Amino acid sequence: MTHHFARLRRFHFNLPQRIAAVLLLAFLAQGFWLTAHQTLSDRDYQYARCGREMWEKPSPLAGYYTSCGNIHDGVIAYRAAGLPLTLNLLVERGLDQFRKPEDRVIQSGGQQGPQISTWELRHQMPHVLLLMRLPFLFVGGVLGGALWWVTRRLFGNFGGYTALALYCSSPAILKACVSPEPDILATLGIYAGIYTCIGVAHAMQGPRRKWRPRIVLLTLSFGLAAASHIAALPVVALLGLIAMLWIAEGRRSQILPIVLLACVGAVLLVFACYGFSPDAFSYLFRSAAGFVWFSSEPAKHFFSSLPNAGITIAAAASLVLYLGVRRSRYFGNTAPLLCALVLLLLVTTGVTASPWLWAQPFLLTFVGGIFADAYESPRPRLALTAGGSIVVLQAIVCILSLPGLI
């Protein structure tokens, strides 16, 4: 108990943490604003219905995992979208015990445990659209917190502020957090997976007792990435393996078994997401969900989009400084740059996915590191003014892109 209390005492909520919290609250506020200006779509219906089926009952159609068919990829997004609705329905059933029969949400018609679709209950169950998006907004907030933790730990407060502020005003990230899609889940899994690989490689220089919790976290990160998009698993495993080989001098022979162990654990977690159904799980490998290729078109579209103007300027300035200033070319800046370049050029050919979105936290980590170096240059005021102006520009174009403001 003393050890746990000591760990709690090491957590501080001082000014840097408060600023980060305010930025994340602003991010969530934008997400709620976007949600309030959306309407339920056929895509929402599909995720709500099939996500609930995964939690509540077997498929009503013989030979199919859900009424959406056999889910080839992104199974965790269905479960994430359906879980709040299932929990909400359980709460309503409990409250029905205290309501008059004519006021009950669930009208059984003389049968026990009726299966009523979320779509049919949309008038009785308030805030269905918001409930479906809460898990994805939560993941977006966790990803922002992870970005802040990594960049502040590597580059200091101002590097963390810069990266987090750009993240919280990224229209692409916000859009991914207010739709039931697996891309924001994959983004968190890949980012956490690669930086956990780096953490494991550093821990391998110390006692073995410090390896285990990091390896467990690595397995969970790989599992999240794989359950979001199966193509993300080889990508995060390969990039993480390269990063570990770069760092873990003298322990390189032990790296591959650790990565393979995490990959096997990730596949088992995906199997669990399919309810341990071998037939449903097999469709993941019978489809083309894992096929990838390379193209520069998604990156061109992202950097030429006006709502991403501030991020584009920051990325271009960071690349110029990285190439021109020798002291900026170290592992902390090089690793996220290489990851961002690989992911920006990656495309999936078998399923719909957005690897360019997976690259965003790495790109912002790179920007935060380069700007942190600039803030410590002989002209810190000029660098701070330039960095602050870029952040303000990105915040303005992001706010102007929100519906209902213009």
The Cβ-side half-sphere exposure at 234, using a 13 Å CA radius, reads 8
* pLDDT of amino acid 188: 98
**pLDDT of res. 58:** 60
Which is more confidently placed, 378 or 165?
Answer: 165
Residue 265 pLDDT more than 50?
A: yes
Same domain as 236, residue 155: no
Q: Give 334's pLDDT tier (boundaries 50, 70, 90).
A: very high
Same domain, 225 and 348: no
Q: State the pLDDT at residue 5.
A: 45
| Residue type, position 124, single letter | Q
Domain that holds residue 47: 42-121
pLDDT computed for residue 310 by the predictor: 97
Burial label, 251 (beta-carbon count in 10 A; 0-12, 13-18, 19+): middle
Whole-angstrom distance, CA of residue 336 vs CA of residue 362: 5
From 277, 307, 341, give the residue that closes a domain: 277
- The structure tokens listed for 351 are 């399923």
- The reply to whether 1 falls in a domain is no
Confidence of residue 29 (pLDDT cuts 50, 70, 90): very high
pLDDT tier, 377 (very low <50, low <70, confident <90, very high otherwise): confident
Please check whether residue 7 lies inside any domain of the structure.
Answer: no
Phi-psi region of 372 (alpha: psi -120 to 50; beta: other; left: phi over 0): alpha
Report pLDDT for 6: 47
pLDDT at 135: 96
Q: Which helix (H) or strand (E) holds 50?
A: helix 42-56
Mean pLDDT within 332-339: 96
Whether residues 112 and 250 share a domain: the answer is no
Non-local (6+) Cβ contacts of 243 within 8 A are: 194, 197, 198, 201, 335
Q: Are 260 and 333 in the same domain?
A: no
Do residues 198 and 224 share a domain? yes
Shared domain check, 383 and 401: yes
Stronger pLDDT, 306 or 4, i.e. the higher one: 306
- Same domain, residue pair 20 and 159: yes
Domain count of the fold of the chain:
3
With residues binned 3-state (H G I as helix, E B as strand, rest as coil), the percentages for the chain, rounded to 5, are 70, 0, 25
- For the segment 163-185, the average pLDDT, to the nearest whole number, is 96
283 inside domain:
no
pLDDT band at 27 (very low <50, low <70, confident <90, very high): very high
Map residue 25 onto helix, strand or coil. helix
Residues 6+ apart with CB under 8 A from 159: 151, 152, 368, 369, 371, 372, 375
Supply the DSSP symbol for 66.
B
| Burial annotation 357-370 (CB, 10 A radius, 16+ → b, else e) | bbbbbbbbbbbbbb
CA distance 380 to 323: 19
Q: What is the pLDDT of residue 110?
A: 41
Structural tokens at position 306: 């006006």
If you average pLDDT over residues 33-50, what whole number do you get? 89
- Residues 81 and 106 grouped into a single domain: yes
What is the structure's pLDDT at 106? 66
pLDDT, position 96? 74
Q: What is the mean pLDDT of residues 111-137?
A: 66
Asked if residue 308 lies in contact with residue 302, where contact means CB atoms within 8 angstroms, the answer is yes
Per cent of the chain over pLDDT 70 is 89
Does one domain contain both 29 and 96? no
Q: Over the stretch 79-97, which tens digit does the pLDDT of each residue have?
A: 999 999 888 888 877 877 7
pLDDT of residue 277: 87
pLDDT (tens digit, 9 = 90+) per residue, 208-250?
888 889 999 999 999 999 999 999 999 999 999 999 999 988 7
**Residue 209 · residue 267 · CB < 8 Å:** no
Question: Residue 111 pLDDT > 50, yes or no?
Answer: no
The answer as to whether 128 is a domain residue is: no
Residue 171: predicted pLDDT: 96
**306 and 392 both lie in a single domain:** yes
Choose the weakest-confidence range: 278-292, 344-358, 363-377.
278-292
Does residue 57 or residue 324 have the better pLDDT?
Answer: 324
Strands (E), 81-154: none
Estimate the crossing angle of helix 331-344 against helix 183-203, to 10 degrees: 150
> For 274-291, how does the pLDDT look when each residue is reduced to its tens digit (9 = 90+)?
989 888 898 888 888 889
Looking at the structure, tell me whether residues 355 and 269 fall in a common domain.
no
Q: Are residues 156 and 223 in the same domain?
A: no
